[in-house]
Chains A and B, each alone.
Chain A
Amino acid sequence: MNKLATILPKVLPPLIVFVAVAVLWQISVSVFAIPAFLLPAPTAIMGEIVDRWPLLMENLQATLIAAVAGFAVGTAVAILLSVLFIYSRTAERALFPWAIIIKTIPVIAIAPLLTIWLGYGLAPKVAISALICFFPTLVNTVKGLRSVSPQQLEFMKILSATQAQTFMQARLYAALPFIFAAAKISISMAVVGAIVAEFTGANTGIGTLIVTAGYQMDATMLFAAIFMSALATVILYYLVIIVESLCLYWPEARIDG
């Protein structure tokens, strides 16, 4: 009961606004007789989601698998490269310009190329999601691995610690808050990447559903697809938050508040 009393003031205001918007929307659609192909009523969208549940889930699953795989690949490659960079200035000088190039190319511009190279399946979607996640994670992780205080490093040196010990005891922990700050940004970007890849050509996925519904001027289906992908992204984001709270267990660990 006590817990409810503390949660309610936080949850109630946004909930009220959300419900109010939905109600207003619903009323406006019927009062002004807005046709469904322009703006379907919230109840119509919910009905669509229920009716087309298997189709939506099938496509959402394809998109999410690609997004999560791309996120994993992009993050992993970025972390490995950051470790290489902090131990080798030469590697950093040689490879960092390539990272910048990857960042400056708009993903939407290379999506068709990747579809030509990798086909209409999972591969181009994973590639694009990975490309999007790669750069923020790289920059953040390098910064994080370097954020160890000089005193911490000196102490490890006093102990004659090996490079591996210094990494495992100090650098890795110092980098974790930075890695998670990047992960929270890139997980939602990964979904965007997968959908963009599906726009340019794919057999399945929320992106293909959106393109098809767009051609058919099926606004109800569009809203259903948008709602489901947004919902899924929020869930993914909170999954990252859960993992983060497990990994960043010490006080004042988070760098992004």
Chain B
Amino acid sequence: MPVPPPGLPLTPQSDVAPAIDIKHVSMRFDTSRGSIDALSDVSLSIEQGEFVSIIGRSGCGKSTMLRAISNLLPPTAGEITVMGQDSVSYQKRKRFGFVFQEAGLFPWKTAAGNIEMPMKVTGHLDAAGRAARSRELLKLVQLEGFEDHYPAQLSGGMRQRVSIARALSYEPEILMMDEPFGALDEFTRKEMHDELIRIWSSRPLTVLFVTHSLTEALYLSDRIVVMAPRPGRVKAVIDVAAPRTTDPAFRRSDAYLDQVAELEALLDE
């Protein structure tokens, strides 16, 4: 898989603006022990409605990338365009959905309270509308009847369901997920994959998914961005052969195994 020349779009241009367009973005942190290049000249374009995973070793800048796009950490150089606007003005109109690995929910709010909170803060809907929407979202993530449960009373998988519902409450166009299922056991994790696919296909949503897991990335995404550390950079972008296939035989096919080998080689270098 060739490394794309910097500055050129990675997918063919279309009439629709890309969901996210990153051009020559660098992020440097100055610390007392010198400066760290968390991101170095990263360029990447993500189409609307795409499911893209970012994979790489720790310290390769995966999470920093999400934070650069959502302006939690403004980049030191380069340009980020979101839905055709620069990301700062995009955020005045729309907000990103964000799901964290854990500890993102508010323990002092019930499941319904956690989902309603962002709508309250952003002035989305009135109280009755918010309550109705949170019920609807709890149904979507299959947590009906759990609206009055606090995060501490829910399992890890259920908490992530609430996190997803919370992120969707203000109807974002782009959903960022930072290792959302990293703390879950294998079975719950698989369950959550199918859940996420179901939710993603039910609405126009672009997903940017950071993960450590190759199989997770291969199962969920249209494309996989492989990143490398020191300095954090994009090493390759790979089109997934058969995204979201439910056929178990595919996992044993040459096409699948070749892709695993290719990705492993990229990550091992």
Interface residues of A (CB under 8 A from B): 149, 151-152, 154-161, 165, 169-170, 173, 249-253
Per the bound structure, the CA–CA distance linking A154 and B67 in Å amounts to 9
Set A149, A158, A250: member contacting B150, Cβ < 8 A: A250
Per the bound structure, the CA–CA distance linking A151 and B166 in Å amounts to 14
Chain B residues near A161: list those with CB within 8 A.
121
Set A158, A250, A251: member contacting B96, Cβ < 8 A: A158
Q: Which 5 A-B pairs have the closest CB atoms?
A: A173-B108, A251-B152, A151-B104, A151-B100, A149-B103
Interface residues of B (CB under 8 A from A): 67, 70, 72, 91-92, 95-96, 98, 100-104, 106-109, 117-118, 121-122, 150, 152-153, 170
Set B70, B106, B170: member contacting A170, Cβ < 8 A: B106
A148: shortest Cβ distance to chain B, in Å?
A: 9
Per the bound structure, the CA–CA distance linking A118 and B103 in Å amounts to 49
Chain B: CB-nearest residue to A156: B121
Per the bound structure, the CA–CA distance linking A60 and B11 in Å amounts to 80
Chain A residues near B152: list those with CB within 8 A.
250-252
Main secondary structure on chain A at its contact with chain B?
helix
Chain A residues near B72: list those with CB within 8 A.
154, 157-158
Chain A residues near B96: list those with CB within 8 A.
158
Establish whether residues B150 and A251, one from each chain, have CB atoms under 8 Å apart when the complex forms: yes
Establish whether residues A250 and B107, one from each chain, have CB atoms under 8 Å apart when the complex forms: yes
A183: shortest Cβ distance to chain B, in Å?
A: 18
Establish whether residues A165 and B121, one from each chain, have CB atoms under 8 Å apart when the complex forms: yes
Chain B residues near A154: list those with CB within 8 A.
67, 72, 98, 100
A181: shortest Cβ distance to chain B, in Å?
A: 16
Per the bound structure, the CA–CA distance linking A142 and B171 in Å amounts to 35
Set A152, A160, A249, A250: member contacting B104, Cβ < 8 A: A152
Per the bound structure, the CA–CA distance linking A154 and B95 in Å amounts to 13
Chain B residues near A250: list those with CB within 8 A.
107-109, 150, 152
B89: shortest Cβ distance to chain A, in Å?
A: 12
B177: shortest Cβ distance to chain A, in Å?
A: 13
Give the residue among B72, B106, B108, B118 with the most A Cβ atoms within 10 A.
B108
Chain A residues near B101: list those with CB within 8 A.
151
Given contacts A159-B122, A160-B122, A251-B150, contact A152 B106 (CB under 8 A): yes
Given contacts A169-B117, A173-B106, contact A160 B100 (CB under 8 A): no
Given contacts A155-B100, A158-B96, contact A169 B91 (CB under 8 A): no
Chain B residues near A170: list those with CB within 8 A.
106
Given contacts A154-B72, A161-B121, A250-B109, 8 further A-B contacts (CB under 8 A): A151-B103, A154-B67, A155-B118, A160-B122, A169-B121, A250-B150, A251-B153, A253-B108
Give the residue among B91, B117, B152 with the most A Cβ atoms within 10 A.
B117
Per the bound structure, the CA–CA distance linking A169 and B70 in Å amounts to 21
A245: shortest Cβ distance to chain B, in Å?
A: 14
A178: shortest Cβ distance to chain B, in Å?
A: 13
A165: shortest Cβ distance to chain B, in Å?
A: 5
Can you name 10 A-B pairs with beta carbons within 8 Å?
A: A151-B101, A151-B104, A155-B118, A157-B72, A160-B92, A160-B95, A160-B122, A169-B106, A251-B150, A253-B108
B49: shortest Cβ distance to chain A, in Å?
A: 21
Give the residue among B92, B103, B121 with the most A Cβ atoms within 10 A.
B121
A129: shortest Cβ distance to chain B, in Å?
A: 30
Per the bound structure, the CA–CA distance linking A158 and B82 in Å amounts to 14
B216: shortest Cβ distance to chain A, in Å?
A: 20
Per the bound structure, the CA–CA distance linking A252 and B107 in Å amounts to 8
Chain A residues near B92: list those with CB within 8 A.
160
